[in-house]
Amino acid sequence: MQIGTYKLVPGRPALMGIVNVTPDSFSDGGRFLGPDAALERALTLEGEGADVVDVGGESARPGSLPVSEEEEIRRVVPVIERIRSRSSVPISIDTTKSAVARRALEAGADMINDISAGRFDRDLLPLAAGAGCPVCLMHMQGVPRSMQEAPSYSDLIGEVRGFLFEAAGRALEAGVAEERILLDPGIGFGKSPMDNVTIIQNLRAFVEGLGGRSFPILLGTSRKSFLGKTLGHEVNQRLEGTLATLAVAVDAGVSILRVHDAAPARRFVDAYLLCRS
Protein backbone atom coordinates (compact mmCIF):
# COMPACT_ATOMS: atom_id res chain seq x y z
CA MET A 1 0.00 0.00 0.00
CA GLN A 2 1.20 3.48 -0.89
CA ILE A 3 0.45 6.39 1.49
CA GLY A 4 1.68 9.55 -0.17
CA THR A 5 5.42 9.09 -0.62
CA TYR A 6 5.58 6.11 1.76
CA LYS A 7 5.09 2.48 0.78
CA LEU A 8 4.24 -0.06 3.45
CA VAL A 9 6.96 -2.71 3.69
CA PRO A 10 5.97 -6.22 4.88
CA GLY A 11 7.73 -7.04 8.12
CA ARG A 12 8.57 -3.41 8.94
CA PRO A 13 5.64 -1.59 10.53
CA ALA A 14 5.26 2.09 9.77
CA LEU A 15 5.05 4.59 12.60
CA MET A 16 2.15 7.04 12.53
CA GLY A 17 2.85 10.08 14.71
CA ILE A 18 -0.10 11.76 16.43
CA VAL A 19 -0.79 15.48 15.96
CA ASN A 20 -3.85 16.41 18.06
CA VAL A 21 -5.11 19.89 17.15
CA THR A 22 -7.63 19.78 20.00
CA PRO A 23 -8.12 21.39 23.41
CA ASP A 24 -9.29 18.18 25.09
CA SER A 25 -7.51 15.04 23.84
CA PHE A 26 -6.78 12.65 26.72
CA SER A 27 -2.98 12.85 26.59
CA ASP A 28 -1.89 16.11 24.99
CA GLY A 29 -5.03 18.22 24.61
CA GLY A 30 -4.24 21.90 24.03
CA ARG A 31 -0.48 21.47 23.58
CA PHE A 32 -0.58 21.73 19.79
CA LEU A 33 -3.82 23.62 19.24
CA GLY A 34 -2.32 26.49 17.20
CA PRO A 35 -1.22 25.86 13.58
CA ASP A 36 2.40 26.81 14.22
CA ALA A 37 2.69 24.57 17.29
CA ALA A 38 1.05 21.71 15.40
CA LEU A 39 3.43 22.22 12.46
CA GLU A 40 6.44 22.03 14.75
CA ARG A 41 4.99 18.92 16.38
CA ALA A 42 4.57 17.25 12.97
CA LEU A 43 8.11 18.14 11.88
CA THR A 44 9.48 16.88 15.20
CA LEU A 45 7.64 13.58 14.80
CA GLU A 46 8.98 13.22 11.27
CA GLY A 47 12.51 13.92 12.47
CA GLU A 48 12.10 11.34 15.22
CA GLY A 49 11.20 8.61 12.74
CA ALA A 50 7.45 8.85 12.07
CA ASP A 51 6.63 7.63 8.57
CA VAL A 52 3.17 9.25 8.56
CA VAL A 53 1.61 12.02 10.67
CA ASP A 54 -2.04 11.80 11.70
CA VAL A 55 -3.73 15.18 12.15
CA GLY A 56 -6.99 15.31 14.11
CA GLY A 57 -9.21 18.22 15.12
CA GLU A 58 -11.85 16.44 17.20
CA SER A 59 -11.14 14.52 20.38
CA ALA A 60 -12.48 10.97 20.57
CA ARG A 61 -11.62 10.40 24.24
CA PRO A 62 -14.36 8.71 26.30
CA GLY A 63 -17.09 11.21 27.12
CA SER A 64 -16.09 13.69 24.43
CA LEU A 65 -18.69 15.64 22.48
CA PRO A 66 -18.59 16.20 18.71
CA VAL A 67 -17.50 19.51 17.21
CA SER A 68 -18.95 21.13 14.11
CA GLU A 69 -17.40 20.45 10.73
CA GLU A 70 -16.66 24.17 10.42
CA GLU A 71 -14.65 24.16 13.65
CA GLU A 72 -12.86 20.96 12.73
CA ILE A 73 -11.91 22.39 9.32
CA ARG A 74 -10.70 25.58 11.00
CA ARG A 75 -8.43 23.54 13.24
CA VAL A 76 -6.91 21.08 10.79
CA VAL A 77 -6.70 22.65 7.34
CA PRO A 78 -4.14 25.38 8.21
CA VAL A 79 -2.01 22.74 9.91
CA ILE A 80 -2.07 20.42 6.91
CA GLU A 81 -1.26 23.31 4.57
CA ARG A 82 1.72 24.28 6.73
CA ILE A 83 3.02 20.73 6.96
CA ARG A 84 2.72 20.22 3.22
CA SER A 85 4.55 23.48 2.53
CA ARG A 86 7.49 22.33 4.68
CA SER A 87 7.59 18.55 4.22
CA SER A 88 6.66 15.65 1.97
CA VAL A 89 5.81 13.45 4.97
CA PRO A 90 2.55 11.56 4.31
CA ILE A 91 -0.40 13.12 6.16
CA SER A 92 -3.44 11.28 7.48
CA ILE A 93 -6.59 13.20 8.40
CA ASP A 94 -8.29 11.76 11.48
CA THR A 95 -11.96 12.56 10.95
CA THR A 96 -15.42 11.02 10.62
CA LYS A 97 -16.76 13.85 8.44
CA SER A 98 -16.63 13.86 4.64
CA ALA A 99 -16.53 17.68 4.43
CA VAL A 100 -13.49 17.77 6.70
CA ALA A 101 -11.81 14.94 4.81
CA ARG A 102 -12.43 16.66 1.48
CA ARG A 103 -10.89 19.93 2.64
CA ALA A 104 -7.98 18.06 4.21
CA LEU A 105 -7.25 16.15 1.01
CA GLU A 106 -7.40 19.40 -0.96
CA ALA A 107 -4.91 20.91 1.50
CA GLY A 108 -2.45 18.04 0.97
CA ALA A 109 -3.52 15.08 3.12
CA ASP A 110 -2.87 11.61 1.69
CA MET A 111 -5.09 9.33 3.76
CA ILE A 112 -8.32 9.26 5.78
CA ASN A 113 -8.40 7.72 9.26
CA ASP A 114 -12.06 7.25 10.25
CA ILE A 115 -12.84 5.95 13.74
CA SER A 116 -16.48 5.43 12.71
CA ALA A 117 -15.63 3.13 9.78
CA GLY A 118 -17.86 5.20 7.51
CA ARG A 119 -20.94 4.88 9.75
CA PHE A 120 -21.28 8.50 10.86
CA ASP A 121 -21.19 10.08 7.40
CA ARG A 122 -22.37 8.04 4.43
CA ASP A 123 -20.47 10.29 2.02
CA LEU A 124 -17.05 9.56 3.47
CA LEU A 125 -16.41 6.20 1.79
CA PRO A 126 -17.49 7.44 -1.67
CA LEU A 127 -15.20 10.44 -1.12
CA ALA A 128 -12.27 8.12 -0.38
CA ALA A 129 -13.12 6.08 -3.44
CA GLY A 130 -13.20 9.14 -5.67
CA ALA A 131 -9.96 10.49 -4.25
CA GLY A 132 -8.22 7.14 -4.61
CA CYS A 133 -6.66 7.55 -1.17
CA PRO A 134 -6.13 4.96 1.58
CA VAL A 135 -8.79 4.85 4.27
CA CYS A 136 -8.53 3.25 7.71
CA LEU A 137 -11.74 1.86 9.22
CA MET A 138 -11.88 1.38 12.98
CA HIS A 139 -14.07 -0.69 15.26
CA MET A 140 -15.96 1.21 17.94
CA GLN A 141 -18.89 0.03 20.03
CA GLY A 142 -21.17 3.05 20.40
CA VAL A 143 -20.02 6.65 20.09
CA PRO A 144 -17.21 8.48 21.94
CA ARG A 145 -19.56 10.18 24.41
CA SER A 146 -20.95 6.89 25.74
CA MET A 147 -18.70 4.11 24.43
CA GLN A 148 -17.10 3.36 27.82
CA GLU A 149 -20.28 3.33 29.89
CA ALA A 150 -20.93 -0.42 29.63
CA PRO A 151 -19.07 -2.12 26.77
CA SER A 152 -20.17 -5.73 26.40
CA TYR A 153 -19.42 -8.62 24.03
CA SER A 154 -20.43 -12.25 23.85
CA ASP A 155 -17.56 -13.03 21.45
CA LEU A 156 -15.10 -10.14 21.53
CA ILE A 157 -12.68 -11.22 18.80
CA GLY A 158 -15.39 -12.60 16.54
CA GLU A 159 -17.57 -9.51 16.87
CA VAL A 160 -14.74 -7.04 16.28
CA ARG A 161 -13.43 -9.01 13.29
CA GLY A 162 -16.93 -9.32 11.86
CA PHE A 163 -17.54 -5.59 12.24
CA LEU A 164 -14.27 -4.71 10.52
CA PHE A 165 -14.75 -7.02 7.57
CA GLU A 166 -18.33 -5.81 7.15
CA ALA A 167 -16.94 -2.26 7.10
CA ALA A 168 -14.37 -3.29 4.50
CA GLY A 169 -17.19 -4.74 2.42
CA ARG A 170 -19.07 -1.43 2.56
CA ALA A 171 -15.92 0.38 1.48
CA LEU A 172 -15.51 -1.97 -1.46
CA GLU A 173 -19.15 -1.44 -2.44
CA ALA A 174 -18.57 2.33 -2.32
CA GLY A 175 -15.73 1.93 -4.80
CA VAL A 176 -12.67 1.99 -2.52
CA ALA A 177 -9.98 -0.24 -4.02
CA GLU A 178 -9.14 -3.29 -1.92
CA GLU A 179 -5.49 -2.25 -1.76
CA ARG A 180 -6.51 1.12 -0.23
CA ILE A 181 -8.26 -0.28 2.87
CA LEU A 182 -6.75 -0.58 6.36
CA LEU A 183 -8.48 -1.86 9.48
CA ASP A 184 -8.08 -0.89 13.15
CA PRO A 185 -9.51 -2.99 16.03
CA GLY A 186 -10.05 0.20 18.04
CA ILE A 187 -8.12 -0.18 21.29
CA GLY A 188 -9.94 1.88 23.93
CA PHE A 189 -13.08 2.45 21.88
CA GLY A 190 -15.99 0.68 23.54
CA LYS A 191 -13.86 -1.95 25.31
CA SER A 192 -13.05 -2.79 28.90
CA PRO A 193 -9.38 -2.73 29.94
CA MET A 194 -9.15 -6.51 29.65
CA ASP A 195 -10.99 -6.46 26.31
CA ASN A 196 -8.12 -4.34 25.02
CA VAL A 197 -5.56 -6.80 26.40
CA THR A 198 -7.41 -9.69 24.78
CA ILE A 199 -7.40 -7.95 21.39
CA ILE A 200 -3.64 -7.35 21.66
CA GLN A 201 -3.15 -11.02 22.56
CA ASN A 202 -5.13 -11.99 19.44
CA LEU A 203 -3.77 -9.53 16.87
CA ARG A 204 -2.85 -12.35 14.50
CA ALA A 205 -6.55 -13.08 14.07
CA PHE A 206 -6.97 -9.60 12.59
CA VAL A 207 -3.81 -9.68 10.49
CA GLU A 208 -4.70 -13.08 9.03
CA GLY A 209 -8.08 -11.80 7.89
CA LEU A 210 -11.46 -13.39 7.46
CA GLY A 211 -13.06 -15.40 4.69
CA GLY A 212 -9.88 -15.52 2.62
CA ARG A 213 -9.49 -11.73 2.56
CA SER A 214 -7.01 -9.70 4.64
CA PHE A 215 -6.10 -6.04 5.00
CA PRO A 216 -3.24 -4.14 6.66
CA ILE A 217 -3.88 -3.54 10.35
CA LEU A 218 -3.33 -0.22 12.14
CA LEU A 219 -3.00 -0.32 15.92
CA GLY A 220 -3.24 2.55 18.39
CA THR A 221 -2.23 1.67 21.96
CA SER A 222 -0.12 4.72 22.80
CA ARG A 223 -0.55 5.98 26.38
CA LYS A 224 -4.07 4.55 26.52
CA SER A 225 -6.04 4.18 29.72
CA PHE A 226 -6.13 0.38 29.73
CA LEU A 227 -2.41 0.54 30.58
CA GLY A 228 -3.26 2.73 33.54
CA LYS A 229 -6.25 0.71 34.71
CA THR A 230 -4.52 -2.66 34.50
CA LEU A 231 -1.06 -1.61 35.69
CA GLY A 232 -1.73 1.51 37.76
CA HIS A 233 0.28 3.81 35.48
CA GLU A 234 -0.51 7.49 34.99
CA VAL A 235 -0.49 8.94 31.45
CA ASN A 236 3.12 10.09 31.77
CA GLN A 237 4.18 6.62 32.95
CA ARG A 238 2.85 4.60 30.02
CA LEU A 239 5.75 4.66 27.54
CA GLU A 240 7.17 1.29 28.57
CA GLY A 241 3.73 -0.30 28.51
CA THR A 242 3.14 1.15 25.07
CA LEU A 243 6.44 -0.27 23.81
CA ALA A 244 5.49 -3.70 25.17
CA THR A 245 2.33 -3.64 23.08
CA LEU A 246 4.39 -2.65 20.02
CA ALA A 247 6.50 -5.79 20.42
CA VAL A 248 3.37 -7.95 20.33
CA ALA A 249 2.09 -5.98 17.33
CA VAL A 250 5.36 -6.40 15.41
CA ASP A 251 5.30 -10.15 16.05
CA ALA A 252 1.70 -10.34 14.86
CA GLY A 253 2.43 -8.53 11.59
CA VAL A 254 0.63 -5.24 12.26
CA SER A 255 1.36 -2.74 9.46
CA ILE A 256 1.04 0.68 11.17
CA LEU A 257 1.68 1.64 14.79
CA ARG A 258 0.03 4.91 15.88
CA VAL A 259 2.15 6.60 18.57
CA HIS A 260 2.70 9.82 20.50
CA ASP A 261 6.36 9.12 21.24
CA ALA A 262 7.97 8.56 17.85
CA ALA A 263 11.63 8.62 18.88
CA PRO A 264 11.55 5.82 21.49
CA ALA A 265 9.08 3.86 19.36
CA ARG A 266 11.41 4.08 16.34
CA ARG A 267 14.45 3.04 18.36
CA PHE A 268 12.54 0.20 19.99
CA VAL A 269 11.05 -1.19 16.77
CA ASP A 270 14.33 -0.96 14.87
CA ALA A 271 16.24 -2.72 17.66
CA TYR A 272 13.54 -5.35 18.09
CA LEU A 273 13.50 -6.15 14.38
CA LEU A 274 17.31 -6.33 14.33
CA CYS A 275 17.48 -8.73 17.26
CA ARG A 276 14.60 -10.85 16.04
CA SER A 277 15.97 -11.29 12.50
CATH code at 255?
3.20.20.20
User: Residue range 162-173: average pLDDT?
Assistant: 97
- Residue 2 belongs to a domain: no
Question: d(Cα 121, Cα 192) in Å, to the nearest integer?
Answer: 26
Q: Taking all residues of the chain, what is their mean pLDDT, rounded to a whole number? A: 93
Q: Answer whether residue 115 is part of any domain.
A: yes
What pLDDT sits at residue 31? Answer: 61
Contacts of 159 (CB under 8 A, 6+ apart): 153
Paired sense of beta strands 135-138 and 111-114, if any: parallel
- Give the number of other Cβ atoms within 10 Å of residue 267's Cβ: 13
Return the pLDDT at 227. Answer: 95
Q: How many domains does the chain have?
A: 1
Cα distances (Å, whole numbers) of residue 50 to 42, 47, 73, 227? 9, 7, 24, 23
Whether 5 is covered by a domain: the verdict is: no
Q: What is the mean pLDDT of residues 160-168?
A: 96
CB-count burial class (<10 Å; 0-12, 13-18, 19+) for 232: exposed
CA 82 to chain centre: 21
Q: Is residue 8 part of a domain?
A: no
Query: What is the tens place of the pLDDT at every residue in 67-96?
Result: 999 999 999 999 999 999 999 999 999 999
What per-residue confidence (pLDDT) applies to 153? 95
Residue 268 placed within a domain: yes
66 part of a folded domain: yes
| Residue 144, pLDDT score | 76
Question: What is the domain extent for residue 87?
Answer: 13-276
Can you tell me the mean pLDDT for 214-225? 96
User: Considering the domain boundaries, does residue 7 fall inside one?
Assistant: no
Q: Does residue 148 fall inside a structural domain?
A: yes
By annotation, the residues acting in catalysis are: 224, 258
Mean pLDDT value of segment 200-208: 97
Q: For 153-160, what is the mean pLDDT?
A: 96
